[in-house]
Amino acid sequence: MDYVLPSGDKLSLAHGATGADAAAAIGAGLARAALAIKVDGVTYDLSRELPTDGEGKIEIITEKSGGEALELIRHDAAHVFAAAMLELYPGVKISIGPPIEHGFYYDVEMPAGPALSDADFPAIEAKMREHINADETFLREDVSVGEALERFVRENQDYKVELIEDLVKNAPADAPVTSVSLYTNGPFTDLCRGPHAPSTKRIKAFKLQSVAGAYWRGDSDRQMLTRVYGTAFFSKAALEEYLERLERARANDHRRLGPLLGMFGFSETAPGSAFWFPRGAEVFNELVRLSREMGRPRGYSEVKTPQLFDSSLWKTSGHWDKYRDDMFVTEAEDRQFALKPMNCPGHCQLYTLQKHSYRDLPVRYSEPGLLHRNEASGTLHGLLRVRHFAQDDGHIFCTEDQIQDEVAGVLEFAFATYKLFGLDVKLELSTRPDKRIGSDEMWDRSEAALKNALDSHGLDYTINEGDGAFYGPKIDIHMTDSLGRSWQLGTCQLDYNFPERFGLTYTGADNQDHQPVMIHRALMGSYERFIGILLEHFGGELPVWLAPTQAIVLPIADRHNDFAQSIADQLSDAGARVESDDRTESVSRKIRDAELRKIPFMLVVGDREQASGEVGVREHRQGDVGSASVAAFTERLTGLIESRSLA
Ligand SMILES: [Zn+2]
Ligand SMILES: [Zn+2]
Please, which residues have CB within 8 angstroms of residue 36's CB and are 6 or more apart in sequence? 19, 43, 44, 45, 46, 60, 61, 72, 195, 196, 197
Domain count, the chain: 5
| pLDDT tens digit sequence for 483-517 | 888 999 999 999 988 999 999 999 999 999 999 99
Known catalytic membership, residue 344: yes
pLDDT at 647: 77
Residue 230 belongs to a domain:
yes
In a domain, 249, yes or no: no
Task: For residues 125 and 230, state if they share a domain.
Answer: yes
For residue 250, being part of any structural domain is answered with: no
User: In 10 A of CB 412, how many CB atoms?
Assistant: 13
Using a pLDDT cut of 90, give the percent of the chain over it: 89
- Cβ contacts of 445 within 8 Å, gap of 6 or more: 400
Give the model's pLDDT for residue 456: 86
Residue 340: name the closest of 367, 360, 364, 380 by CA: 367
User: What is the DSSP pairing of strand 623-629 with strand 425-430?
Assistant: unpaired
Give me the count of residues in the chain: 647
CATH number for 430: 3.30.930.10
The per-residue pLDDT for 515 is 96
Q: Which ligand is nearest to the CA of 346?
A: 2
Residue 647 maps to a domain? no
Query: Does the residue 254 lie in any domain?
Result: no
> Residue 393 domain-assigned?
yes
pLDDT at 470 over 90: no
Please say which residue of 17, 43, 64 terminates a domain: 64
Ligand lying closest to the C-alpha of residue 196: 1
Classify residue 224: in a domain, yes or no.
yes
SS3 of residue 74 by DSSP: helix
522 CA to centre of ligand 2 in angstroms = 8
Residue type, 372: H
Both 354 and 415 in one domain: the answer is yes
Cα 635 to middle of ligand 1, angstroms: 65
Q: Are residues 223 and 112 in the same domain?
A: yes
**What is the spatial distance between Cα 19 and Cα 11, in angstroms, rounded to a whole number?**
12
- Per-residue confidence (pLDDT) for residue 202, from 0 to 100: 97
The answer, yes or no, to whether residue 140 has pLDDT greater than 80, is yes
pLDDT confidence tier of residue 1, bands split at 50, 70 and 90: confident
Residues in contact with 325: Cβ distance below 8 Å, sequence separation at least 6, in sequence order: 374
Question: What ligand has the least distance to the C-alpha of 83?
Answer: 1
pLDDT digits (tens, 9 = 90+) for 28-74: 999 999 999 999 999 999 999 999 888 999 999 999 998 999 999 99
Q: Strand 614-619 and strand 623-629: pairing?
A: antiparallel
Check the CA dihedral 549-555-561-565 and report its sign. Answer: negative
463 with 597, same domain: the answer is no
Q: Among the options 160, 202, 344, 398, which is catalytic?
A: 344
Which secondary-structure segment (H or E) carries 298? Answer: none
- Catalytic hit among 45, 107, 190, 393: 393
Q: Is 226 in contact with 115 (CB distance < 8 Å)?
A: yes
CA angle (222 as vertex; 218, 225 as ends), nearest 5: 70
Range of the domain at 520: 264-302+344-538
The answer on 416 and 276 residing in a single domain is: yes
- Residue 577 contacts residue 586 (beta carbons within 8 Å): no
**Final residue of a structural domain among 487, 519, 538:** 538
Mean pLDDT of 123-140: 97
The answer on pLDDT for 357 being more than 90 is yes
Same domain, 588 and 474: no
Residues 118 and 186 in one domain: yes
pLDDT in tens, 275-304: 999 999 999 999 999 999 999 999 999 999
Q: Does residue 251 lie within any of the structural domains?
A: no
* Ligand 2 midpoint to CA 393 (Å): 7
Q: Are 97 and 236 contained in the same domain?
A: yes
pLDDT category at 587 given cuts 50, 70, 90 is very high
Choice among 131, 207, 319, 373 that is catalytic = 373
**Extended beta strands in 93-244, E state:** 93-94, 99-100, 103-109, 139-144, 179-185, 188-191, 205-215, 224-233
Q: For residues 176 and 514, what is the distance between their CA atoms, to the nearest angstrom?
A: 61
pLDDT of residue 471: 82
Nearest to 188 by CA among 98, 81, 75: 81
Q: Are residues 205 and 161 in the same domain?
A: yes
CA distance 231 to 147: 32
Q: Output phi, psi for 395, to 5 deg.
A: -130, 130
CA of 59 relative to ligand 2 center, distance in Å: 46
The residue from 520, 529, 598, 618 that is catalytic is 520
Whether 391 sits among the annotated catalytic residues: the reply is yes
Query: Cα–Cα distance between 489 and 418 in angstroms, integer?
Result: 9
Helix (H, G, I), strand (E, B) or coil at 457: coil
296 and 315 housed in the same domain? no
Give CA–CA dist 446/403, Å, rounded.
Answer: 8
Model pLDDT, residue 113: 85
Distance 344 CA to ligand 2 centre (A): 4
Q: Is the pLDDT of residue 457 over 90?
A: no
The reported pLDDT for the residue numbered 482 is: 87
CATH code: domain of residue 137: 3.30.980.10
Q: Kindly give the distance from the C-alpha atom of residue 186 to the centroid of ligand 2, in angstroms, as a whole number.
A: 59
DSSP assignment of 168-205: HHTS-TTS---EEEEEEETTEEEE------SBGGG--E
Q: Is 360 labeled as catalytic in the residue annotation?
A: no
CATH code of residue 637: 3.40.50.800
Q: What does the mean pLDDT of the chain come to?
A: 94
CA distance 340 to 329: 10
Q: Express each pLDDT in 403-443 by its tens digit.
A: 999 999 999 999 999 999 999 899 999 999 998 877 888 88
For 188-224, letters b (16+ CB in 10 Å) and e give bbbbbebbbbbbbebbbbbbbbebeebebbeeeeeee
For the stretch 318-343, pLDDT in tens is 889 888 899 999 999 999 999 999 99
Q: Domain containing 17 — which CATH number?
A: 3.10.20.30
The last residue of a domain, from among 48, 64, 80? 64
223 labelled catalytic: no
Q: Whole-prediction pTM value?
A: 0.79
292-314 b/e (C-beta count within 10 Å ≥ 16 → b): eebbeeeebeebebeeebebebb
CB 63 within 8 A of CB 204: no
Q: Ligand 2 centre from 37 Cα, in Å?
A: 48
Spacing, Cα 342 to ligand 2 middle (Å) = 7
pLDDT tens by residue, 207-241: 999 999 999 999 999 999 999 999 999 999 999 99
Ligand 2 centroid distance, CA of 498 (Å) = 9
Active site residue 373: yes
H/E stretch holding 619 reads strand 614-619
Let me know whether 379 and 435 are in one domain: yes
Q: Looking at the CA of 474, which ligand is closest? A: 2
Are 457 and 353 members of one domain?
yes
Number of neighbours of residue 360 by Cβ within 10 angstroms: 13
